[in-house]
Amino acid sequence: MYDVAIIGAGINGCSVAYELIKEGKRVILFDEEGIAGGGSGAAGAFISPKFSKSGELKEMINSAFTYSYDFYAKNFPNSFQQAQLVHIAKDEAEDETLRIYKKNTTLALLKMPDNMKTQLSENAKKREYVSIDAGIVNAQSVCNAMACGAKLVQEKVESLVYDDAFWIVNESYSAKHIVLATGAYDMLIPEPYIKLRGVWGHRIDVKTTTKNENSMHQFVSISPKQGGHLAIGATHNVHYHPQKNTEPYDIEQGRKELLQKASQTIILENVTVVKDYTGLRSGSFDYMPLVGPLVLSKETLFTCKNILHVKKPDFKEYMYYPNLSMINGSGGYGFVLAPYLAKTLTEHILHGKAISERISPARFFARWAKKL
């Protein structure tokens, strides 16, 4: 018997495991591919803010950036590398966005390193940029460190049944509470109002005579790796899904695309691809993450007859799956948002602390129900 079973061992699942283990809970972690075996393992794992003019998502990510930067540096210093980040505009529209960002941000702005200026392409030199202190996480090592203390079961979860106040996983394991951290793969709970965008990510580690000690973002991310290598990556393919496409992902074409995009930013010389990382990342259709309990759609529609007519729904009136939560939909900011959201979810599960309606999965149920 476990206190919590977490399904999905990417950065979201491992972050929740870490918070629960800190609270003395017995945690079991399921993932067919192992820890950080999917989209999290393919991520650049940058800890940076969102460079945009305004909006709820920007405010959330910026709060998460401050929290997560300190979180990784304090708790996992061996998996965290401080690195100056230079974010370069892609076009004239983003030039204006960055000018506005620099006027309004409270973060300390830095100058572009002199050695980076000499490596930039002519196009990149003409664009606006923002540079700040940021960080890079070693995805595999930090996820493994977070999950230390949880029982890892490396198998696919085929069945999830609630029986007599406990959840039974694969007919073999029981837990008081379930956390779904399955990304853009099968969520196991078939609710029609929950729909996620799957975006395929590809990262390559390359050996090159071009030296770069800082992180840069433009069309793709480019960052230093141990051993003098560079990591080049992007969440760049919205059309490929490993469970839906009949043809396998074209690794060679993906490499060419990443190197071509990188060359628009930096002059790369004598390049050899050392390793590929690929995986599916998930995002929501309103771009905000989904954190918290899941609504029982059929039961709620049957019980709450007035739900289709109220202007402002009351999420407290809905019926929910017992002792089941999800954490998902962070898109390309998974390593920034995960510690911040995991803390929020853990406080809700253990202490009943309210979760903002803006990130609650119930918001999608409310929209779906009104369309019926």
pLDDT tens digits, one per residue of 302-311: 887 666 666 7
Please give the Cα distance from 207 to 37 (Å, whole number). Answer: 23
Q: What is the pLDDT of residue 290?
A: 97
pLDDT of 43 strictly over 90: no
> What pLDDT sits at residue 169?
96
**pLDDT band per the 50, 70, 90 thresholds, residue 119:** confident
Residues 6+ apart with CB under 8 A from 235: 199, 200, 201, 281, 331, 332
Q: What is the DSSP letter of 317?
A: G
Region 87-99: mean pLDDT is 95
Helix (H, G, I), strand (E, B) or coil at 269: coil
Q: What is the pLDDT of residue 237?
A: 65
Instruction: Tell me the domains of the chain and their CATH numbers.
Output: 2-38+142-196+286-371 (3.50.50.60)
pLDDT at 238: 61
Contacts of 256 (CB under 8 A, 6+ apart): none
| Six-digit token string for 5 | 């079973």
pLDDT of residue 353: 96
Provide mean pLDDT across the span 291-295: 97
Angle subtended at Cα 161 by Cα 156 and Cα 167, rounded to the nearest 5 degrees = 90
What's residue 201's pLDDT?
85
- Least confidently predicted of 173-187, 212-226, 237-251, 354-368: 237-251
Q: How far is CA 297 from the centre of its chain?
A: 26
The answer on pLDDT for 280 being more than 80 is yes
Task: Give CA–CA dist 352/11, Å, rounded.
Answer: 23
Would you say 284 and 215 are in contact if contact means Cβ atoms under 8 Å apart?
no
What percent of the chain is modeled with pLDDT above 70? 96
Model confidence band, residue 236 (pLDDT cutoffs 50, 70, 90): low
More confident residue, 42 or 99: 99
Minimum mean pLDDT range among 31-45, 108-122, 221-235, 302-316: 302-316
